[in-house]
Amino acid sequence: MSHIAFFATTPKGQESLLAAELSALGATGVKETRAGVNFSGPLSVAYRACLWSRLASRILLPVQHVAAPTPEALYQGVRDISWEEHLGPDDSLTVDFATVQSQISHSHYGALKVKDAIVDRFRDISGRRPSVAREQPTVRINVYLYRDQATVYLDLSGDSLHRRRYRVQSVTAPLKENTAAAMLLRAGWPEVAQAGGTLLDPMCGSGTLLIEGALIAADIAPGLLRDHFGFLGWRGHDAAIWAGLIAEAQQRRAAGLQQLTTLYGYDADPRAVQAARQNAAAAQLAEHIVIAQTSLRDLSAPPADRPGLLAVNPPYGERLGETEALKPLYAELGAKLKEHFSGWRAAVLTADPELGKNMGIRARKRYTLYNGALECKLLCFEVVPEWFVTARAVEDEAPLSPGAEMLANRLRKNLKTLGRWAEKEDITCYRLYDADLPEYAVAIDLYRGEKLWVHVQEYAPPASIDPKKAEARLRDALRAIPVALEIPREQLYFKIRQRQKGSAQYQASEESGEFHEVREGPCRLLVNLGAYLDTGLFLDHRPVRALIRELARGKEFLNLFAYTGSASVHAAAGGASGTTTVDMSRTYLEWARRNMALNGFTGPQHRYLQADCVSWLNEQSALKIPPRYGLIFLDPPTFSNSKRMEDNFDVQRDHVAFIRHAAALLAPRGMLLFSTNNRRFKLDHEALADLQLEDLSRALLPQDFARNPRIHQVWRIQTGKA
């Protein structure tokens, strides 16, 4: 068995890279196929590939080819294999089965037939049979059935090789490790590192690109952190060969780390920064990778003697509207490259290469890679003036369509009328447009701070609307808005508005975003227009917050489902003796602290509690001596089934008990403001007849939401009958 045939699998688009890598590892007979590479060599070559391949997913050893036109033929062909050469009756196994264009069309059924054939053979030979184990079996068997011909493999890798065992914390849609390695190899990172350059990822997420970059630059085998491979329990395993390879890899790692330059990763999301730091520590590379919370707006080149490589996997939208919203991000990335990274290389992985045109730099090379099932393009840049171009402006310069011009005219009209009202009332943030024209179903909010920012939300179109027509209208809207409002596109933020359920109510729509300061009355507040499904400031509640400010003087204020604490800021600004801000989300509570601190409200009289408001309110109202509040603001969600809540919550079903528990915490002559955005909500007056109930909905409806009078409902509630 000095010369053995093997097969290595890899994501599509990485075959040629893997072929070159295997050749460098000593393989012969290297031949690319779709999503894989055939190769041959001694057993040590397969072991070396398991340990050193940065690109392979699995290393497979062919055992037998079996004609399988029927389940019975498959069973018999597998049963005839000498499985006792590979495992024993006291061992365990698992079977992975894939079928293409074959009579056996169900992979699970095929896997069962293979398993039955193997265990039946052992039962006949020894009276005992191996067990089945999905996690770390002694032997993993892989069967590929194509046109009724089955190839039976032993999986020498065990678990997929892209799992390096350093990812202890993740973020949304992480980049696979072997795809990250392919991205860096295509971008020329080994040459940059060899020349003394550094690697920087300005949107590092969980740090995968940085860690893979460090492993490449320091000549570290990516499999060194793994404690299990598929061949370790195999009866053909040669422990001496494997021990020698491990010793060699450890020596190379020690030498490589001494030469490794510092790598840099930034992200605007503190959760991503935490994840990246934990993963770098798990990879034993924390002292070589600097990770900091920094937004793209503040990006600059790190201290370095030589030009490096900026590699990034930025967000990319799968729908037109999402893609449109990302154009400013790519434009800013291009501007930062031109300003701070002269002479560097850059690599950007995107599902929409058209987005790259907004960077204003012509790509030197393009490669196709797959991030999971999603086809992406890797754009490789040289950041030198001869590759700079004027960012795409043809579309912006083209005349608006008749529909877009109609929308632009409506926006100008609204701006004229609502703008006068806002200026008179000293209002800086308001709704300009809310699906006034049925064809353009978007909500447009203006936020005036250092600049005029525009926040656009699309109402998800009904299934009856032709998706192509909806996309065309959305494209028109996103072109018309900057024209009508006379702002650059970089000041427009776009999101898709749809009902959120469960924990999605508390999640960001992207992993990054910038905070902008705006003013509301005497209060300063932070909004995040890019990263979260909501901006942090419910504009329809503007009069409610003003009322809270008027009523709060000298009172203890309780803010339940507090979101970003804007109501607490108004209460403190109105002279509240203390505030208690309660929300289940740690992210929103931290936002609330920042809002309060921005206005100078930092004393111990201002408290913040991370809690399920339903359970917390039940507990407080049941105390023998419950806390008392002169003013309570209760603004629950319509529905919540977050896993952090003890039970789900429905405002229509549960509001009577909820209001009673809140009213139990009122001080004498105290007041509860209860609000809901459930447009079908009906207050149960009969069940709450012993309380004073005053409907303030119409009085607290702001002019910019007057076209939709059921945007929210608000009641003033006090104990005792009126």
Instruction: Convert the pLDDT of each residue in 129-151 to its tens digit.
Output: 999 998 899 999 999 999 999 99
Q: Are residues 267 and 138 in the same domain?
A: no
Q: Are residues 558 and 676 in the same domain?
A: yes
Split into its structural domains, the chain has a count of 4
Q: Are residues 401 and 542 in the same domain?
A: no
**Residue 68 within any structural domain of the chain:** yes
Among the listed residues 391, 347, 389, the one whose alpha carbon sits nearest the alpha carbon of residue 365: 347
**Residue 172 within any structural domain of the chain:** no
Q: b/e per residue, 674-687, with b = 16+ CB within 10 A?
A: bbbbbeeeebeeee
**Parallel/antiparallel/unpaired status of strands 36-41 and 28-33:** antiparallel
Tens-digit pLDDT profile for residues 544-553? 999 999 999 9
**Residue 555 within any structural domain of the chain:** yes
Q: b/e per residue, 352-385, with b = 16+ CB within 10 A?
A: bbebbbbbbbebeeebebbbeeeebbbbbbbbee
Task: Provide the domain limits for residue 259.
Answer: 177-222+255-391
**Residue 125 within any structural domain of the chain:** yes
Give CA–CA dist 213/193, Å, rounded.
9
Q: b/e per residue, 142-176, with b = 16+ CB within 10 A?
A: bbbbeebebbbbbbbbbbebbbbbbbebebeebbb
Distance separating the N- and C-terminal Cα atoms of the chain? 94
Tens-digit pLDDT profile for residues 476-524? 998 899 999 988 877 888 876 544 433 333 333 333 457 899 999 999 9
Q: Are residues 399 and 386 in the same domain?
A: no
**Residue 160 within any structural domain of the chain:** no
The conformational region for residue 343 under phi > 0 = left, psi -120 to 50 = alpha, else beta, is left
The residue written with tokens 């068997």 in the block is: 141
CATH of residue 657:
3.40.50.150
Q: Are residues 103 and 200 in the same domain?
A: no
Q: Are residues 459 and 590 in the same domain?
A: no
C-beta separation of 492 from 454 below 8 A? yes
pLDDT grade for 318, boundaries at 50, 70 and 90: low
CATH of residue 428:
3.30.750.80
**Residue 533 within any structural domain of the chain:** yes
Lowest model confidence (mean pLDDT) among 97-106, 137-146, 162-171, 458-467: 458-467
Say which residues have a Cβ less than 8 Å from residue 538's Cβ, sequence separation at least 6: 563, 566
User: What angle in degrees, to the nearest 10, is found between the helix axes of 586-598 and 566-573?
Assistant: 30
Domain boundary residue, one of 368, 391, 414: 391
When pLDDT is averaged across residues 591-616 and rounded to a whole number, the result is 95
Give CA–CA dist 232/162, Å, rounded.
18
Helix ranges (DSSP H) in 426-556: 467-485, 542-551
The conformational region for residue 640 under phi > 0 = left, psi -120 to 50 = alpha, else beta, is beta
Give CA–CA dist 275/59, Å, rounded.
30
For residue 380, pLDDT over 80 is answered with yes
When pLDDT is averaged across residues 346-357 and rounded to a whole number, the result is 90
Give CA–CA dist 347/700, Å, rounded.
52
Give CA–CA dist 28/20, Å, rounded.
11
**Residue 240 within any structural domain of the chain:** no
In percent, the amount of the chain with pLDDT more than 90 equals 78
Long-range contacts of 549-553 (CB under 8 A, 24+ apart): 549/521, 549/522, 549/523, 549/573, 549/574, 550/574, 551/631, 551/671, 552/576, 552/631
Q: Are residues 674 and 599 in the same domain?
A: yes
Q: Are residues 439 and 567 in the same domain?
A: no
Domain boundary residue, one of 339, 361, 391: 391
Q: Are residues 22 and 95 in the same domain?
A: yes
Give CA–CA dist 139/74, Å, rounded.
19
Tokens at 11, concatenated: 């994501």
Domain boundary residue, one of 155, 185, 213: 155
Q: Are residues 90 and 186 in the same domain?
A: no
In percent, the amount of the chain with pLDDT more than 70 equals 93
pLDDT, greater one: 496 or 581:
581
The residue written with tokens 């111990």 in the block is: 604
**Parallel/antiparallel/unpaired status of strands 92-100 and 578-583:** unpaired
CATH of residue 147:
3.30.2130.30
**Residue 238 within any structural domain of the chain:** no
Q: Identify how many contiguous H helices and E strands the chain contains and give both numbers.
A: 19, 30
Q: Are residues 552 and 682 in the same domain?
A: yes
- Say what the pLDDT of residue 2 is: 67
Tens-digit pLDDT profile for residues 154-205? 999 999 999 999 999 887 768 999 999 999 999 999 999 999 999 999 999 9
Q: What is the mean pLDDT of the chain?
A: 91
Q: Are residues 339 and 407 in the same domain?
A: no
The residue written with tokens 């039970």 in the block is: 647
Tens-digit pLDDT profile for residues 417-446? 999 999 999 999 999 999 999 889 999 999
